[in-house]
A and B are shown apart, each in its own frame.
Chain A
Amino acid sequence: MELILAIAIGVLAASGVYLLLRPRTFQVIIGLSLVSYAVNLFILAMGRLRMDAAPILDRSAVNPGDYTDPVPQALVLTAIVIGFAMTALFLVVLLAARGLTGNDHVDGRLD
């Protein structure tokens, strides 16, 4: 499972970085989204991978080892929300730039 997750993060990050470096704004925004998925999975993985363990303690006297770490899940939730909002904002700016320059090159260049 660790291997599958690591490969998934790696593939997402690599394709995201490749797209980020492309000259079209649409490719940049897709690249940003892919990188954000990779980062979110990475944060989750930093809380150690556990199968079939709840993140919420439900009894008073419990062994914390039976549960998965809830903090990274809370962090991922925040990161997803913020990343999504920022991507949406970027999309608006991208459309404005498209409208003003007439093309979707990141430098607004005609080529």
Chain B
Amino acid sequence: MAEPMHMAILPILVPMAAMIANLFFNNLRLADRSVWLVRLNIAFGLALLVVAVALLVMLERLGGSLAVVYPLGNWPAPFGIVLVADRLSATMVLVTSVLSLAALIFATARWHARGTNFFPLFHALTMGLNGAFLTGDLFNLFVFFELLLAASYGLALHGGGRNRVKAALHYIAINLVASFLFLIGVALIYGTTGTLNMADIARAVPLIAPEDRGLFDAGAAVLGVAFLIKAGAWPLHFWLPNTYSAAAPPVAALFAVMTKVGFYAILRLWTLVFANSSGPELAFGQGLLMILGIATIAFGSIGALSSKALDRLASYLILVSAGTLLLAVGYNAPGVTSGALFYVVVATLAAGALFLLKDIIDQILPAEAQVLAVSLEIYGDEDENLDDDEEVSRTVPGSATLVTWCFAIAALIMAGLPPLSGFLSKFAMIAAALDVEAASAATWWLIGAMIVSGLFVLVAMVRNGINIFWTSLPDTDIPRIPTVEIAPIVMLLALCVALAFAAGPAMDFFTDTAAFIHAPGAYVSSVLTEPPTP
């Protein structure tokens, strides 16, 4: 590519092309239509992955202190809308594309045929996510949020049924309210700073007249509430477990990255606008984010302990990771942020894998057996003493063994136990928090919350694993698991394991990224001094 900046818009254009191609494909008359439909969509998923990797590689080559700016329509920066790709957004785009490819491959086995227009909606959600990560304009962020939400409403309803419709009803209502809060916040910020460009807002904030300062802070706070609703922060998260556990598994897997949009938006604006000022907003925001983070972790951990079904457990694990990320943002130290970036990659991929795994376990183990396991736990087994000839269990089939291993790896990552990457990322956050000269009360809260939540998650995962895997296998033969369903899960978890081995380079990368986002001067100057392209 001759112009490096054009790379910044490709992660949005590829899913859009996929969406359009799918709509045209619906009208084609082909002999083996369904085969080609699957191939077409996997090809687009792969293309997006290639683009995301290329974007990251290109940013690395350009040097870490640079953000690639793409002025849409070639309007100069503060007046036109810009797309900004720095390492943070490129990382999030890469996570989205990996997860969407995995969910896409998984969905081609059965789920895409459970309703209409699965693939166009799926690509629309990916496009909205990528756009939200890449945009450098506050109102454009709103538009991409609405885009991804509109697609997610459709996907949450995919498959139909009373449960999904009920969950989607709550989900849509709360998100519409969040959108209105978003608009109020944007309007207040525009009214006081006179700009919508994020870099320009960061530049204009110190120049706000003192009498307007309160209005600006109110706008930022309202905007923050909107983001916290998306991020699933306590007490604004009650929509999350129902929606995620009711959604179709591949959809829920992609939703795992959707809460991270809220985290991303908070991290971006917080570091750009407030984190380096020393005003009263810093102390307020820091305290609030940390309290909300701890409360979210606590609620998520208790919820995880109380959940009997794996999909609910996975939803509560999403809450735990959302809380951990908020806590890390609130702590506001580059070292902790770099650990949090590592954590967001690992936790998102593992949570996505867990949602997919749940569907496979449902196939192996009929629902009645799972209910039986739960009631056995409560009421006790009547005949626990097995007959002698039953003690030697049947050979466990290979597919069940693979599923068990996947579950164990996911549990290790989510609980943050060594030796996998979940542990390494939590360790990086805790080590960085302890690294400062004087450990304050906030440090101990951070460390305590992370370690205790790990214990809770571990207990919940182990208990669920025992219920699922240590029950008697059904007498009938275990159905064969299609390769297209198990392969994406293995791919996601293998990536998490590989990240544990490549933790050194990965942490170097995230340390540079965190240093870049905690010194917003570079971001602001690369956006505002972008020379117009002839």
Give the B-binding residues of A (Cβ under 8 A): 20, 25, 28, 32, 35-36, 39, 42-43, 46-48, 71-72, 75, 78-79, 82-83, 85-87, 89-90, 93-94, 96-97, 100-101, 106-108
Check if B162 sits within 8 Å of A82, measured CB to CB: no
The 8 A CB mask of B30-55 against A (1 = contact, 0 = none) is: 00000000000000000000000000
- Chain B residues positioned under 8 Å from A42 (CB to CB): 183-184, 187
- Chain B residues positioned under 8 Å from A96 (CB to CB): 157, 165
- Chain B residues positioned under 8 Å from A28 (CB to CB): 173
* Min CB–CB distance A90 → chain B (angstroms): 5
- Chain A residues positioned under 8 Å from B191 (CB to CB): 46-48
Quick one: given A39-B183, A39-B184, A106-B169, are A72 and B190 in contact (CB under 8 Å)?
yes
Q: A46-B187, A100-B162, A108-B166 are in contact. List 17 more A-B contacts (CB 8 A).
A: A28-B173, A39-B180, A39-B184, A42-B187, A43-B186, A43-B187, A46-B188, A75-B186, A83-B176, A83-B179, A86-B179, A89-B150, A89-B153, A89-B172, A90-B173, A93-B165, A93-B172
Check if B187 sits within 8 Å of A101, measured CB to CB: no
Cβ-closest 7 pairs across A and B:
A46-B191, A46-B187, A43-B187, A100-B162, A39-B180, A82-B146, A97-B165
B113 within 8 Å of A (CB atoms): no
* Min CB–CB distance B211 → chain A (angstroms): 15
| Cα separation A34 to B162 with both chains bound (whole Å) | 28
**Size of B's binding interface in residues, CB under 8 A:** 28
- Most chain A CB within 10 A, of B139, B146, B183, B196, is at B183
Check if B173 sits within 8 Å of A75, measured CB to CB: no
* Min CB–CB distance B170 → chain A (angstroms): 7
B177 within 8 Å of A (CB atoms): yes
Check if A93 sits within 8 Å of B146, measured CB to CB: no
Check if A75 sits within 8 Å of B187, measured CB to CB: yes
Check if A78 sits within 8 Å of B166, measured CB to CB: no
- Chain B residues positioned under 8 Å from A83 (CB to CB): 176, 179-180
Q: Determine which of A43, A90, A93, A97 lies in contact with B183 in the assembled complex, contact meaning CB atoms within 8 Å.
A: A43
B400 within 8 Å of A (CB atoms): no
B168 within 8 Å of A (CB atoms): yes
Give the A-binding residues of B (Cβ under 8 A): 139, 143, 146, 149-150, 153, 157, 161-162, 165-166, 168-170, 172-173, 176-177, 179-180, 183-184, 186-188, 190-191, 196
| Cα separation A90 to B143 with both chains bound (whole Å) | 18
- Chain B residues positioned under 8 Å from A79 (CB to CB): 183
Check if A106 sits within 8 Å of B162, measured CB to CB: no
- Most chain A CB within 10 A, of B166, B180, B184, is at B180
Q: Determine which of B149, B153, B162, B186 lies in contact with A101 in the assembled complex, contact meaning CB atoms within 8 Å.
A: B162
- Chain A residues positioned under 8 Å from B179 (CB to CB): 82-83, 86
Quick one: given A43-B183, A71-B196, are A20 and B177 in contact (CB under 8 Å)?
yes
| Cα separation A25 to B170 with both chains bound (whole Å) | 10
Check if B177 sits within 8 Å of A93, measured CB to CB: no
13 contacts between A and B (CB under 8 A): A36-B180, A39-B184, A47-B191, A71-B196, A72-B190, A75-B139, A78-B139, A85-B150, A86-B146, A86-B179, A89-B153, A93-B153, A100-B161
- Chain A residues positioned under 8 Å from B161 (CB to CB): 100
* Min CB–CB distance A78 → chain B (angstroms): 7
Check if A90 sits within 8 Å of B187, measured CB to CB: no
| Cα separation A107 to B196 with both chains bound (whole Å) | 38
